[in-house]
């Protein structure tokens, strides 16, 4: 459906912080209850592992996290298997394997669901501020490719809600990105 590789489908590491020292937990892709989450505090991406992950034994990912740099390297693998201790990658061209341990950041896992707007609480608005670089960052992390339910023009749907500091960016089914709005009162 996506690729012949048994791997993650999208570059979720792009939504993570690059080297956050005050909040090191934001340098990781997190896995919880069948979803992958990645955030830098401005962009939050949530994807269904059932739909956007072709990793073998992906149930071993639950409750774990991978550093963004490891995730970036993992995306280059031909076959990825989640184990109890980390992710085992096979690189066919290089005829090699590499094991990436799960992260052990001492910070508490953010409650990503808390910032996701509840459907019943959302009201659309007409004027907001956006940072184009953050929109581009969110869109690069979402899958818009050749699935059965693809929109033929590879567009994303943006929804803006009253009483929310986020913009909802929808790719295909079972994935969402939230982007923080900019303050227009500066």
pTM of the model: 0.75
Cα angle 98-104-105, degrees, rounded to a multiple of 5: 130
Tens of pLDDT along the chain (186 residues)? 445 689 999 999 999 998 878 889 999 999 999 999 999 988 899 999 999 899 999 999 999 999 999 999 999 999 999 999 999 999 999 999 999 999 987 777 788 888 877 767 766 666 677 788 888 888 888 776 554 444 445 667 777 776 666 777 766 667 888 887 776 665
Between the alpha carbon of residue 46 and those of residues 26, 37, 95, the distances in Å are 14, 5, 33
> Alpha-carbon distance 13 to 72, whole Å?
6
Q: CATH number of the domain at 12-104+111-180, please?
A: 3.10.150
- For the chain, the structural domain boundaries read 12-104+111-180
Could you tell me the end-to-end alpha-carbon distance of the chain, in angstroms, rounded to an integer? 46
């Amino acid at each position: 459906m996506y690729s012949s590789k048994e791997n993650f489908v999208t570059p979720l590491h792009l939504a993570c912080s690059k080297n956050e020292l005050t909040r090191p937990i934001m340098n990781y892709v997190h896995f919880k209850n069948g979803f992958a989450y990645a955030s830098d505090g401005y962009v939050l991406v949530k994807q269904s592992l059932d739909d956007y992950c072709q990793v073998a034994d992906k149930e071993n990912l639950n409750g774990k996290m991978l550093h963004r740099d490891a995730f970036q390297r993992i995306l280059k693998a031909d076959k990825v298997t989640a184990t109890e201790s980390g992710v085992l990658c096979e690189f066919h061209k290089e005829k090699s394997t590499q094991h990436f341990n799960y992260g052990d950041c001492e910070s508490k896992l953010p409650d990503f669901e808390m910032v996701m707007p509840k459907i019943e609480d959302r009201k659309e608005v007409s004027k907001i501020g956006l940072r184009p670089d953050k929109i581009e960052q969110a869109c690069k992390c979402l899958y818009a490719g050749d699935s059965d339910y693809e929109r033929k023009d590879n567009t994303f749907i943006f929804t803006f809600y009253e009483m929310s500091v986020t913009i909802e960016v929808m790719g295909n089914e079972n994935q969402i990105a939230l982007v923080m709005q900019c303050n227009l009162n500066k």
